[in-house]
Structure 1
């Protein structure tokens, strides 16, 4: 290959006219050295074909990390491929990557021997900064050394070189020995061994083997328990494609009392006793909901599960076998409208609004002229009867307005799935904002809905019918740690608009808009969230996320690091009953009836967001009010954004 200079200003005209061909030979030693993609950081050109051949002495391997990595997000256009050889042989491929990675999750790879090849291929006309890489030689013994005997009663072990990618062609075996009479419990806090073309039911390439079962792929939860006081864990990587690997915690426990003061799931994990037989699958394998004796306030499903009686006839399949819905007022050949009224089954999709709310024509492709609360309203006044038509990558409106304004709800950084983590990673929730008032520090949360507008709760600003004067207040975007300002954009608040119907007593219409003094610059850690259409449906039972720097427990101090919690949307009937009739149509409940997970003081005004199949995140709620924090049968109450979105758009012009 012909050599071309890496500085764009010095690129020979011959290379600019066709392909940019770059070839480098590098010698790795124990001192770290750097190289970068052509044109970095201004941006690489399309049709680049670059190679870096790296060699080290025979007793060393090569370790390469990428402190900065930002390539076009489509790997069919632009990508970096890395090989455990000096030729681009797929059987020796270590990995192939594109997209952009946060500083907290850099790409880092290791060779099995003393050679490595890095290819950089670009076809896209979309210009991105490229990458910067650091390489050095490390002893082969460090690469190949892993496993051993673990004799303490608790500890941590990881795949080789974790959190960097594990090297190819490695075999490890850990033998965990705990006190006689006890058993070994292993909990994987991170598990990722993904490889193209691998059937994760077979795991014939890279895997972890525990008690004769192989595990591979990416798992959000993996907890295993031994049969004796000794447990062997084996790890194998073949010659091609590596990944992050795993990190695991092991501990000894008494089989007679595996979870002191807690419930023991069949998988071996422990959960609070109050979560057993509460209707939610807290264990992940339903073992906490099996063999339950239903209480007076619970419904006994045909499959043996117990669910709250409040969930019966709410049009949600809570039992899983529809038994909680089969004995409802409507007959076998009848349709139940959203308001509970029963209609003959043949009224569905007959191009007439038989139900008052139009639910019989929702999601009917044969009802183009029907407009109801369930219809998406196009800019040209056309109605689309399709659930959540907005930003689903399908043009349903004749004017394509359902796919307009969809540059939102994305997380630029590629993030690892950390099992059970509560601290948010950098860039994980790029629409989250921290509002600071005078010298009090963080007081409320907000979300970015455009470069100039933030969405928050009215109760953060209104007291005794007066609006706080925010002359000395600031909002911080792109923040993860309250004590760190790197990459954070600070803005003053120019204007606060609270909903004119906001009621301080009931918290109805608890929504506020903040206009910034100057627009935000969107980055990897600062992005807007998608606003749902008024017809957007967030069904009961859907898992969503609430974030903020609020108190970690009721009456506690505020968090330094941004916190995240998964919550479930609770159906409106249950929501109204557990709040004793205080919920209006502008509110929704989310959390866990058993308690334990909730928003808290200081989270007010922050977003509750839900991920849709379209690949977009939408804001379903604004943290509004609740009785205490994470109390049983006292879920958090949120302002329902879909019922307030028309006012939001009218005031902001978004």
Structure 2
């Protein structure tokens, strides 16, 4: 299908007003369209050498504009299968771009406002006044969409209006090569005027709002023959053509401005100019809370398509609090978007400042960011370039590092080099702290006697000794207790009966080498116990961990009902195992849930006992991409300061809505529960374990819940130390992540599952 470009003007006239007629007669329509149609017919028939049956229809799909009349036509060809590729190439050459992904062949009958073409459905809609109407995929919400479907929704608005389209439900196959929606800034599916292409699902809180440049819009749904999903629902309405926040004069000491329509995606074909003027003698600083201006494959250096221009063109995705300084009291800010592909846009604040005092009452970073003076010399890199932490005088609550930095005193002797020069880890061996909190002289460690009483002073020695059993000692199946720390599955047989190495088909992975906030992309098969839990119509909601070929561990808060969804019902869940990319679920193993067991003492207010079990409806075949993580015994010790890994597809940053496509991983360290309880306002129970990077920036976030926190033990085998539970924000300074301590539930897991 090809559509005439909307910039085309027919019947040029010296007086443009004469072209602005309320109606166009069918005779005029034929007069306008027939020459063009005949020319195209001649070209196509020449290409096809008249070997194929074709049909060409004209519809009064015309719109009035200041530039004249835009006419749309539709052509359909029925081509032998062996010649389809040749015709696709010919049609693509007419448009100058690749042809549509799905060919439509043969005409059907016209009914109402729909034209059915061999499984294709075309519908026409008109927005009216302040009314909001709905379009939805065929069958939604009662049934999934059909395979091999092509559906069009043509939407018109009154003259001098735009169309606003908002998706509140979007649940398609995750691979856009199979099923996808496209929204066009025209009535014809021209690839030059694609506003957006979407597949997968809409996250709760994600804004999928699109605005047309004129008074027409086209929505298409294309599906293939496999994996049909619930589909979509969208609301459309008309809004005035003039968008209030597109340009203008901004004066005063400070103010705000945003991309057109924000927080909607900005419309295509838009140009806005803001003239900013602050009092004479002052300069201008522009800070962005949001800056997302990009098109697929756009060059982020030259920015030829969509861009914001201040001192120079800016495009791409910038982090929050990005600052640009203008050394003048006047500035011109330009925003431009081209014909196709739109993004979230920007939200900015401008502020006047004295050139001699850019940050009155605040600290000026070397990168021109202004931060609160309370953040200077607090041990954290608030500026991002460490400029707020140089030349500091440490107070009594801080460690004075030899290199001049100051660090919080609770980081002393935690096994991590926080200073960078190891100052905080020196002189830490005068006493040995037992696991039962007793302290003994360091020289009594590994002397062959149980001086602690719990065997912990003999637990990391060359030889383990038999000790009296306690809550902190490992018990073999023959009821013998040994002093060795974490002997289970460490590759050495410590129990006389060999029980410590008997059940160790777990915790291994083919790679030695989450979106977790501040994390990195994972490799395929790197975390084979990681599971993605999908709720029907929502997509990915929580994570989980494989503990056997039949059982998963997740968080209890993931399976609690609310007013909208029945999360406690097994039939509402889809389980994806061996998954790396959320956009490629077809490459993973899909299972369904037979039973959910939430811990009976789970407290929804404190998140205490936040653990649950899921039984699969059938055993999964274990492989290098699907493999159980090891469950630690109740006596397993995960000491403060130890590095652990968190993984998941959760949000990349606290302030954004979108989750990660690729599985993310991040390394954090375990934090002492006493310190953690102080940091988290005494909200920590003994059944929780804290981990994070206290300087901020690395943490689990929404969407990671229920996923694993894993610890690498002495022989490289990985154990499930925690289950992602809760936190205060994501990646905030001095606010670690809180995890369910799995060692507290080892007996309960064994009782419920037999694992």
Give the TM-score of the pair, scaled to structure 1.
Answer: 0.57
How far is the alpha carbon of 1:173 from its aligned partner?
1.7
The 1:572/1:636 distance shift into structure 2, 3 A limit, reads closer
Q: Does 1:403 align with 2:529?
A: yes
Q: Which residue in 1 is equivalent to 2:208?
A: 107
Q: Is the 8 A contact 2:154 2:218 kept in 1?
A: yes
Aligned to 1:244: 344
1:358-405 Cα distance to aligned partner (Å, 9 max, x none): 99x99xxxx995799xxxx999622545599999785589xxxx538x
SS in 2 for 1:282: coil
- Indicate which of 719, 723, 726 corresponds to 1:619: 723
Quick check: 1:195–1:217 contact (8 Å CA) kept in 2? no
1:193 maps to 2:293: yes
- Aligned: 1:121 with 2:219: no
| 1:312-349 Cα deviation digits (max 9, x unpaired) | 78664646xx54489979xxxxxxxxx9x9xxxxxxxx
Answering whether residue 193 of structure 2 is matched by residue 92 of structure 1, we say yes
User: Please, which of 264, 279, 290 is the counterpart of residue 364 of structure 2?
Assistant: 264
**Could you tell me how far 1:244 is from its partner in structure 2?**
1.6
Aligned counterpart, 2:137: 37
SS in 2 for 1:243: coil
- What SS is found at the alignment partner of 1:280? coil
Tell me how far 1:241 sits from its aligned partner: 0.5
SS in 1 for 2:374: helix
- State how 1:465-484 maps to structure 2 within 5 Å: 477-478=561-562
Give the root-mean-square deviation of aligned CA atoms.
Answer: 6.1
Q: SS in structure 1 opposite 2:379?
A: coil
Partner of 2:123: 24
Distance 2:567 2:506 in 1: 40
Q: Corresponding residue for 2:717?
A: none
Question: Deviations along 1:88-139, whole A, 9 cap, x unmatched?
Answer: 3333211111223257434222222344332211126333222223334444
Q: 1:407 to 1:327 in 2, by over 3 A?
A: closer
Q: Deviations over 1:392-426 (max 9, x none)?
A: 785589xxxx538x244999869xxxxxxxxxxxx
- The corresponding residue for 2:609 is 512
Say which structure is richer in helix: 2
- Partners of 1:315 and 1:325 within 8 A in 2: no
> Given the alignment, which residue of 323, 328, 349 partners 1:223?
323
The answer on whether the counterparts of 2:154 and 2:187 sit within 8 Å (CA) in structure 1 is yes
- Indicate yes or no: 2:241 matched with 1:140: yes
Q: Is the 8 A contact 2:608 2:687 kept in 1?
A: no
Tell me the distance in 1 between the aligned counterparts of 2:393 and 2:111: 71
TM-aligned CA deviation for residue 81 of structure 1? 0.9
Structure 1's unaligned 5+ residue stretches are 330-338, 342-352, 415-426, 432-447, 456-474, 479-484, 500-506, 517-529, 548-566, 599-605, 625-632
* Post-superposition offset of 1:29: 4.9
Partners of 2:532 and 2:216 lie apart in 1 by: 42
CA distance in 1, matches of 2:537, 2:463: 43
- Per the TM alignment, residue 242 of structure 1 is displaced from its structure 2 partner at its CA by 0.3
Distance 1:3 1:98, change over 3 A: farther
- Distance in 2 (CA, whole Å) between partners of 1:323 and 1:253 is 38
Which residue does 1:284 correspond to in 2?
384
Shift of 1:570: 6.0
Q: Which has the larger radius of gyration?
A: 2
Describe the shift of the 1:228–1:166 C-alpha distance in structure 2 as closer, same or farther (beyond 3 A): same
Give the match's secondary structure for 1:171: strand
Asked whether the 8 Å contact 1:5–1:38 carries over to 2, the reply is no
Alignment counterpart, residue 130 of structure 1, candidates 231, 248, 265? 231
Contact 1:71 1:129 in 2 (8 A): yes
SS of 1:512's partner is coil
- Compared CA separation, residues 84 and 307, structure 1 to 2 (3 A): same
Deviations 1:237-266 (A, max 9, x none): 122210121122334445565555543334
Question: Distance in 1 between the 2:534 and 2:642 partners?
Answer: 19
Whether contact under 8 Å (1:79, 1:120) holds in the other structure is yes
1:204 to 297, 304, 307: 304
TM-superposition CA deviations, 1:521-542 (whole Å, max 9, x none):
xxxxxxxxx9995499996699
Residue aligned with 1:649, SS: helix
Kept in 2: contact 1:177–1:231 (CA 8 A): yes
Is the 2:509–2:525 Cα contact (8 Å) retained in structure 1?
A: no
What is the CA-CA distance between 1:197 and the residue it aligns to?
0.9
In structure 2, the CA distance between the partners of 1:307 and 1:60, relative to structure 1 (3 Å rule), is: same
CA contact (8 A) 1:587 1:637 kept: no
CA gap 1:370/1:276 in 2 versus in 1, 3 angstroms:
farther
Change (3 A) 1:156 1:428: farther
Rounded Cα–Cα distance in structure 2 between residues aligned with 1:371 and 1:90: 65
Cα distance change, pair 514–309 in 1 and its aligned pair in 2 (3 A): closer
CA shift in 2, pair 1:80/1:369, >3 Å: same
Change (3 A) 1:496 1:541: closer
CA contact (8 A) 1:531 1:641 kept: no
Indicate conservation of the 8 Å contact 1:72/1:124, yes or no: no
Q: CA deviation at 1:158?
A: 1.1
Query: 1:381 — aligned with what?
Result: 504
C-alpha separation in 2, matches of 1:288 and 1:110:
43
SS at match of 2:303: coil
Equivalent residue of 1:141, what SS?
A: coil
Q: How many correspondences in the alignment?
A: 494
Q: Residue 419 of structure 1 aligns with which residue?
A: none
Secondary structure of 2:377's counterpart equals coil
What is the CA distance between 1:37 and its match in structure 2? 1.6
Question: Using a 3 Å threshold, how does the CA distance of structure 1 residues 219 and 306 change in structure 2: closer, same or farther?
Answer: same
Task: Give the secondary structure class of the aligned counterpart of 1:91.
Answer: helix
CA distance in 1, matches of 2:354, 2:537: 45
Residue 534 of structure 2 contacts residue 541 of structure 2 at CA under 8 Å; is this kept in 1? no
Counterparts of residues 515-594 of structure 1 (less than 5 Å)? 534=632, 572=671, 588-589=689-690
Is the contact made by 2:303 and 2:315 (CA closer than 8 Å) also made in structure 1? yes
- The CA deviation at 1:38 is 1.4
Q: CA deviation at 1:279?
A: 2.8
1:154: which partner in 2?
254
SS, match of residue 243 in structure 2: helix
Q: Is the 8 A contact 2:689 2:722 kept in 1?
A: no
In 1, the alpha carbon distance for the partners of 2:155 and 2:349 equals 36
Contact 2:300 2:315 in 1 (8 A): yes
Question: In 2 relative to 1, CA 592–273 (structure 1 residues): closer, same or farther, beyond 3 Å?
Answer: farther
Instruction: Tell me the distance in 1 between the aligned counterparts of 2:737 and 2:208.
Output: 40
